[in-house]
Every structure is written in structure tokens, then in C-alpha cells.
Amino acid sequence: MSPDPHALAGTVFSRATAVRRDPAVDGRYAAHVDAGWDAPTGPNGGYLAAIVVRAVEAELAPAGERRLRSLTIHYLRGPKVGPLQLDVRVLRAGRRTATATVTVLQDDREVMVAIAALAVPGLEAAATWAPALPDAGPPPAPDAPAVPMADYRRDAAAWIAPFEGMPPITSQLRMSPRLGGLPFSGRMPRDGAAVETGGWIGSPEDQQIDAAYVAQLTDFWWPPSFEAVSRPAALPTIDLTIHFRADLPSGGLPAAPVLGRYRSTTAEGGLVEEDATLFLPDGTLLAHSRQLALLAPVA
């Protein structure tokens, strides 16, 4: 019942996040965890969130009649490469909003639980405001060269080339760092300040910007806390909440680079939080997210 990623059409990302409905069980979907989206400690949390998004939209917005607006996932244990089962339970489907839970299992063990909220597009607004696009310069062109990190300059229109030691997921998308410092530089933030990282993210394919892709990008970049440590650390995610702020139809917005800004203000007791904001080049805010993760030394 699991989707065969090699038999499906679309981009590498759409194939790796595909879900398939189980006709025998209401609300049940199958997916397959792809090794190409692994982070250092296993499947990337944003990638797994994207699979959850696919199942939620398939169950509650099959014709694009609703937009995913909020998703909170708790990561119970790390799944491995292989089949996943997703059980979507609709709690309420009202005129304007709908809410559902998702239980994700692998080998009959719960690996994630999630709650999602959707709303119809075009809700009446009493007021409107949004953050400004960070000053990060224009994105590189899709066909701009990829250069080694040692040769990369932030004022150059280029992407960085994957280098030895980077996890598989970093080879799936392009990165152009513009914010913050380098990982593992041991540069602690000043009192009361935050550590920050980020830059432009691009896809080598004509990847439409839909809710699943946005979910992936909230957890794609290296963690900002890596700047404050002098050697690799483990950061398994405990929970991730994403607020989808742009109107993202099921077919997605046209392909474009996305600017990700990732910040952390507090690391205490072996835990660290990370806030992300994602923007299109025209300043459109795509999403806010916050996650809590362990910050543990690697033996």
C-alpha cells in the first residue's frame, strides 16, 4: 500500500512526500520515508511534517476548499527509512474552520502525533499587518553557480555547494547563506541577544510552493544554536508548530526562492527553542514556526 516514489510523477520532493489513501479504512494513508531527506540523526523533522501535511490536505481539503493554517507535531520517536501509516481523524468540520488529529505509526508503534487546523480562504479581516522582509539582498538566480563554502561571499549571487559531512537533505535544495554566522564557531550571543542564521533557499526543480514544501523549509536550515557551540551537537525535535500565513492553494504558488530566517533566544537545561519566518522575494510572509528541541552533546 505504500507509495512507490519511483513510480510517481512530479518533483523529487513531491514524490518523497506522497501519500496514498487506504480504501479499506476511513482516514488512513500510507507514505514512505525517503533516505534522501535525512538529517544527521535521521529523517528531518520538516520533511516528516510535509508528509503529515499531505495526509491532512487529502482528507480535509481534497479539492482545495480549505487552507491549512496551523499544524503542531510532537515527535515521539525517530522513524526510519520505510513505510509509514497515517491515521487522520476529523474532530470538527465547520463552515469556516476544521480541525483534525493525525497519528503516525511505523511498525505498529506511534512515532508522531499531530493536530491541524484549516480554514476556508477569504476570511474577513478586521485589520492587517505583517513583518518586513529581512535585509538579505536579492536571491541568486536558479542557474547561479554553486561554489565551495570557502569561496562563498555573501555579496555574490551564488549558492553554496554541498560539502563532505553535510547530511543528505542538504543536497536536495540549494542554500545561499545571508544571515548569522557559521555553525560550530563557538560564538555565544551577547546577554539578551539571539543567535540567528538563514538565507535564500531554492529548488533545482520547478517546485511549486505549497503547504507541504513550506513545512519542509521551516526545519531545513542548520539550527541557529550551532553557531554558539564549537563542535557538533544533537538537536532532535520534540515539537514543531507551523502557522501558515500566506494563501497556499493545494496546487501551490509559482516556484520561487524562499528566504528563511531562523532565531533562538534561549538554551537552558538541555533544551533550545527555534523560531523561523519564511518569505517570498516580494516580501510575502509564508509562515511562522516554533520548535523545541534537545541540545545535547555528541559523545
Locate the domains of the chain by residue range. 12-119, 146-232+248-297
- The Cα 71–Cα 239 span in angstroms is 10
Per-residue pLDDT band at 9 (split at 50, 70, 90): low
Write the pLDDT tens digit of every residue in 38-79. Answer: 998 899 999 999 999 999 999 999 999 999 999 999 999 999
Fold of 146-232+248-297: Porin (2.40.160)
Per-residue pLDDT band at 2 (split at 50, 70, 90): very low
Sign of CA dihedral 220, 120, 93, 31: negative
- Percentage of the chain surpassing pLDDT 70? 97
Do the domains spanning 12-119 and 146-232+248-297 agree at the CATH topology level? yes
Per-residue pLDDT band at 1 (split at 50, 70, 90): very low
Strand, helix or coil for residue 59: helix
Per-residue pLDDT band at 268 (split at 50, 70, 90): very high
Torsion of CA 71, 194, 147, 155, to 10 degrees: 110
Q: Which CATH superfamily is domain 12-119 in?
A: Acyl-CoA thioesterase, double hotdog domain (2.40.160.210)
The pLDDT of residue 5 is above 60: no
- Grid cell 505498529 in the structure block, residue: 108
Per-residue pLDDT band at 192 (split at 50, 70, 90): confident
- Asked whether the beta carbons of 14 and 211 are under 8 A apart, the reply is no
Give the DSSP letter string of 20-51.
EE-TTSTTEEEEEE-GGGEETTEE-HHHHHHH
User: Does an H or E element contain 233, and which?
Assistant: strand 233-234
Give the model's pLDDT for residue 156.
Answer: 83
- The Cα 214–Cα 254 span in angstroms is 13
- Computed over every residue of the chain, the mean pLDDT equals 93
Range 147-154 average pLDDT: 91
